[in-house]
Structure 1
Amino acid sequence: MAKLSIQMLFVVVALVCAFVPVLSVEEAEAKALWNTCLVKITPKCALDIISVVFGNGTISDSCCHDLVQEGKLCHDTLIKYISDRPSLIVKEAQFLKKRDDLWAHCVSISKTV
Protein backbone atom coordinates (compact mmCIF):
# COMPACT_ATOMS: atom_id res chain seq x y z
CA MET A 1 0.00 0.00 0.00
CA ALA A 2 2.83 2.41 0.85
CA LYS A 3 4.43 1.66 -2.51
CA LEU A 4 1.17 2.61 -4.24
CA SER A 5 0.99 5.89 -2.30
CA ILE A 6 4.56 6.78 -3.28
CA GLN A 7 3.77 5.99 -6.91
CA MET A 8 0.63 8.17 -6.74
CA LEU A 9 2.69 11.02 -5.27
CA PHE A 10 5.11 10.80 -8.17
CA VAL A 11 2.21 10.82 -10.64
CA VAL A 12 0.71 13.93 -9.00
CA VAL A 13 4.03 15.75 -8.89
CA ALA A 14 4.71 14.84 -12.52
CA LEU A 15 1.27 16.05 -13.60
CA VAL A 16 1.56 19.29 -11.69
CA CYS A 17 5.10 19.96 -12.89
CA ALA A 18 4.04 19.26 -16.47
CA PHE A 19 1.47 22.02 -16.23
CA VAL A 20 3.79 24.64 -14.68
CA PRO A 21 4.96 27.17 -17.26
CA VAL A 22 8.59 26.39 -18.00
CA LEU A 23 9.74 30.00 -18.19
CA SER A 24 7.66 31.32 -15.32
CA VAL A 25 8.99 34.55 -13.82
CA GLU A 26 7.99 33.34 -10.37
CA GLU A 27 9.68 29.95 -10.74
CA ALA A 28 11.28 30.04 -7.27
CA GLU A 29 7.94 31.05 -5.74
CA ALA A 30 6.18 28.23 -7.58
CA LYS A 31 8.74 25.67 -6.39
CA ALA A 32 8.35 26.86 -2.80
CA LEU A 33 4.56 26.56 -3.08
CA TRP A 34 4.78 23.05 -4.54
CA ASN A 35 7.06 22.01 -1.68
CA THR A 36 4.81 23.64 0.91
CA CYS A 37 1.37 22.82 -0.46
CA LEU A 38 1.71 19.35 -1.92
CA VAL A 39 2.82 17.87 1.40
CA LYS A 40 -0.51 18.87 2.95
CA ILE A 41 -2.71 16.82 0.65
CA THR A 42 -2.80 13.20 -0.46
CA PRO A 43 -1.91 12.37 -4.05
CA LYS A 44 -5.40 10.95 -4.63
CA CYS A 45 -7.03 14.16 -3.41
CA ALA A 46 -4.68 16.26 -5.54
CA LEU A 47 -5.75 14.26 -8.59
CA ASP A 48 -9.42 14.61 -7.59
CA ILE A 49 -9.05 18.39 -7.25
CA ILE A 50 -7.38 18.63 -10.65
CA SER A 51 -10.12 16.46 -12.19
CA VAL A 52 -12.85 18.67 -10.69
CA VAL A 53 -11.31 21.95 -11.83
CA PHE A 54 -10.01 20.84 -15.22
CA GLY A 55 -12.59 18.17 -16.03
CA ASN A 56 -15.84 16.76 -14.73
CA GLY A 57 -14.53 14.87 -11.71
CA THR A 58 -15.99 14.63 -8.24
CA ILE A 59 -14.46 15.11 -4.83
CA SER A 60 -15.11 13.26 -1.59
CA ASP A 61 -15.85 14.93 1.71
CA SER A 62 -12.51 13.74 3.10
CA CYS A 63 -10.66 15.35 0.18
CA CYS A 64 -12.60 18.55 0.82
CA HIS A 65 -11.28 18.50 4.37
CA ASP A 66 -7.74 18.01 3.03
CA LEU A 67 -8.22 20.89 0.60
CA VAL A 68 -9.38 23.25 3.34
CA GLN A 69 -6.43 22.13 5.50
CA GLU A 70 -4.12 22.88 2.55
CA GLY A 71 -5.41 26.45 2.59
CA LYS A 72 -6.92 28.88 0.12
CA LEU A 73 -3.59 30.45 -0.85
CA CYS A 74 -2.16 27.08 -1.85
CA HIS A 75 -5.31 26.06 -3.69
CA ASP A 76 -5.66 29.36 -5.56
CA THR A 77 -2.01 29.60 -6.48
CA LEU A 78 -1.58 26.02 -7.63
CA ILE A 79 -4.68 26.10 -9.83
CA LYS A 80 -3.64 29.51 -11.22
CA TYR A 81 -0.22 28.14 -12.19
CA ILE A 82 -1.79 25.19 -13.96
CA SER A 83 -4.43 27.28 -15.73
CA ASP A 84 -1.75 29.70 -16.98
CA ARG A 85 -0.37 26.94 -19.18
CA PRO A 86 -0.52 28.08 -22.82
CA SER A 87 -2.71 25.13 -23.82
CA LEU A 88 -5.22 25.96 -21.05
CA ILE A 89 -5.15 29.76 -20.95
CA VAL A 90 -8.12 30.03 -23.33
CA LYS A 91 -10.38 28.56 -20.63
CA GLU A 92 -8.59 30.14 -17.66
CA ALA A 93 -11.64 32.12 -16.51
CA GLN A 94 -13.72 28.92 -16.52
CA PHE A 95 -11.05 27.04 -14.53
CA LEU A 96 -10.70 29.85 -11.98
CA LYS A 97 -14.47 29.89 -11.48
CA LYS A 98 -14.48 26.13 -10.96
CA ARG A 99 -11.57 26.56 -8.54
CA ASP A 100 -13.56 29.11 -6.53
CA ASP A 101 -16.73 27.00 -6.65
CA LEU A 102 -14.80 23.96 -5.42
CA TRP A 103 -13.30 25.98 -2.57
CA ALA A 104 -16.74 27.27 -1.50
CA HIS A 105 -18.17 23.72 -1.66
CA CYS A 106 -15.34 22.29 0.40
CA VAL A 107 -15.53 25.04 3.02
CA SER A 108 -19.25 24.37 3.41
CA ILE A 109 -18.58 20.62 3.73
CA SER A 110 -15.89 21.25 6.36
CA LYS A 111 -18.20 23.45 8.44
CA THR A 112 -20.91 20.79 8.63
CA VAL A 113 -18.70 18.16 10.24
Structure 2
Amino acid sequence: MATIFVVLALVYASVPAFAVEEGEARKLWDTCLLKITPKCALDIIAYVFGNGAISDSCCHDLVQEGRLCHDTLIHYISDRPHLRANESQYLKKSDQLWTRCVSTSKIV
Protein backbone atom coordinates (compact mmCIF):
# COMPACT_ATOMS: atom_id res chain seq x y z
CA MET A 1 0.00 0.00 0.00
CA ALA A 2 2.85 2.41 0.79
CA THR A 3 4.18 1.77 -2.71
CA ILE A 4 0.95 3.11 -4.16
CA PHE A 5 1.30 6.36 -2.23
CA VAL A 6 4.93 6.71 -3.24
CA VAL A 7 4.04 6.25 -6.90
CA LEU A 8 1.16 8.71 -6.59
CA ALA A 9 3.42 11.26 -4.93
CA LEU A 10 5.96 10.94 -7.72
CA VAL A 11 3.28 11.32 -10.36
CA TYR A 12 1.75 14.35 -8.66
CA ALA A 13 5.14 15.98 -8.23
CA SER A 14 6.10 15.44 -11.85
CA VAL A 15 2.84 16.45 -13.56
CA PRO A 16 2.49 20.23 -13.93
CA ALA A 17 -1.30 20.09 -13.63
CA PHE A 18 -0.93 19.01 -10.01
CA ALA A 19 1.71 21.58 -9.11
CA VAL A 20 1.02 24.33 -6.61
CA GLU A 21 0.03 27.33 -8.70
CA GLU A 22 0.12 30.34 -6.39
CA GLY A 23 3.37 32.29 -6.75
CA GLU A 24 4.64 32.21 -3.17
CA ALA A 25 3.35 28.71 -2.45
CA ARG A 26 4.88 27.46 -5.71
CA LYS A 27 8.25 28.99 -4.78
CA LEU A 28 8.11 27.38 -1.32
CA TRP A 29 7.15 24.01 -2.84
CA ASP A 30 10.01 24.15 -5.36
CA THR A 31 12.48 25.20 -2.65
CA CYS A 32 11.41 22.44 -0.27
CA LEU A 33 11.80 19.68 -2.81
CA LEU A 34 15.43 20.66 -3.32
CA LYS A 35 16.39 20.47 0.35
CA ILE A 36 16.13 16.71 0.86
CA THR A 37 17.12 13.71 -1.19
CA PRO A 38 14.44 12.02 -3.27
CA LYS A 39 14.89 8.83 -1.23
CA CYS A 40 14.26 10.68 2.04
CA ALA A 41 11.23 12.42 0.54
CA LEU A 42 9.85 9.03 -0.48
CA ASP A 43 10.63 7.58 2.96
CA ILE A 44 8.77 10.47 4.62
CA ILE A 45 5.78 9.96 2.34
CA ALA A 46 5.83 6.20 2.92
CA TYR A 47 5.96 6.77 6.69
CA VAL A 48 3.08 9.24 6.81
CA PHE A 49 0.82 7.66 4.20
CA GLY A 50 1.70 4.02 4.77
CA ASN A 51 3.74 1.87 7.10
CA GLY A 52 7.21 2.89 5.95
CA ALA A 53 10.25 3.47 8.11
CA ILE A 54 12.57 6.45 8.20
CA SER A 55 16.27 6.46 9.03
CA ASP A 56 17.96 8.81 11.48
CA SER A 57 19.82 10.45 8.59
CA CYS A 58 16.52 11.19 6.82
CA CYS A 59 15.17 12.54 10.10
CA HIS A 60 18.14 14.88 10.21
CA ASP A 61 17.44 15.99 6.63
CA LEU A 62 13.78 16.52 7.47
CA VAL A 63 14.63 18.77 10.40
CA GLN A 64 17.14 20.67 8.24
CA GLU A 65 14.38 21.10 5.65
CA GLY A 66 12.20 22.80 8.25
CA ARG A 67 8.72 22.39 9.62
CA LEU A 68 7.10 24.63 7.01
CA CYS A 69 8.48 22.55 4.14
CA HIS A 70 7.44 19.31 5.83
CA ASP A 71 3.93 20.57 6.49
CA THR A 72 3.63 21.92 2.94
CA LEU A 73 4.53 18.53 1.45
CA ILE A 74 2.18 16.55 3.69
CA HIS A 75 -0.75 18.96 3.34
CA TYR A 76 -0.33 19.04 -0.43
CA ILE A 77 -0.41 15.26 -0.76
CA SER A 78 -3.13 14.66 1.85
CA ASP A 79 -5.40 17.15 0.09
CA ARG A 80 -5.86 14.81 -2.88
CA PRO A 81 -9.54 13.81 -3.19
CA HIS A 82 -8.90 10.09 -2.58
CA LEU A 83 -6.88 10.84 0.59
CA ARG A 84 -9.04 13.56 2.22
CA ALA A 85 -11.13 11.07 4.19
CA ASN A 86 -8.05 10.12 6.24
CA GLU A 87 -6.37 13.54 6.25
CA SER A 88 -6.53 13.93 10.05
CA GLN A 89 -4.81 10.54 10.46
CA TYR A 90 -2.04 11.59 8.04
CA LEU A 91 -1.55 14.93 9.77
CA LYS A 92 -1.29 13.15 13.13
CA LYS A 93 1.37 10.77 11.75
CA SER A 94 3.14 13.77 10.23
CA ASP A 95 3.28 15.47 13.64
CA GLN A 96 4.53 12.26 15.26
CA LEU A 97 7.24 11.96 12.62
CA TRP A 98 8.32 15.57 13.11
CA THR A 99 8.52 15.14 16.91
CA ARG A 100 10.54 11.93 16.53
CA CYS A 101 12.90 13.50 14.02
CA VAL A 102 13.48 16.60 16.14
CA SER A 103 14.34 14.48 19.17
CA THR A 104 16.58 12.21 17.05
CA SER A 105 18.37 15.19 15.52
CA LYS A 106 19.14 16.65 18.97
CA ILE A 107 20.93 13.43 19.91
CA VAL A 108 23.05 13.27 16.75
When normalised by structure 2's length, the TM-score is: 0.82
Cα distance in 1 between the residues matched to 2:98 and 2:107? 15
Cα distance in 2 between the residues matched to 1:12 and 1:88? 11
| Alignment of 1:14 onto 2:10 | yes
> Per the alignment, do residues 21 and 30 of structure 1 end up closer, same or farther by CA in structure 2, a change over 3 Å counting?
farther
- Select the residue among 78, 82, 86 that pairs with 1:83: 78
Query: In the alignment, what sits opposite 2:93?
Result: 98
Structure 1, unaligned runs of 5 or more: 1-10
Cα distance in 2 between the residues matched to 1:68 and 1:14? 22
When normalised by structure 1's length, the TM-score is: 0.78
Tell me, yes or no, if the aligned pair for 1:51 and 1:57 is still in contact at 8 Å.
Answer: yes
Q: Which amino acid aligns with 1:71?
A: G
- Select the residue among 54, 58, 68 that pairs with 1:59: 54
Superposition deviation, residue 15 in structure 1: 3.5
Cα distance in 1 between the residues matched to 2:83 and 2:9? 18
The share of aligned pairs that are identical, in percent, is 65
Deviations 1:70-113 (A, max 9, x none): 00000011100110110100000000000000000000000011
| TM-align CA RMSD | 2.6
Figure out how many residues of one structure are paired with residues of the other and give that number: 101
Superposition deviation, residue 38 in structure 1: 0.8
Tell me, yes or no, if the aligned pair for 1:12 and 1:43 is still in contact at 8 Å.
Answer: no
Superposition deviation, residue 57 in structure 1: 0.1
Structure 2, unaligned runs of 5 or more: 1-6
| Alignment of 1:112 onto 2:107 | yes
Tell me, yes or no, if the aligned pair for 1:61 and 1:109 is still in contact at 8 Å.
Answer: yes
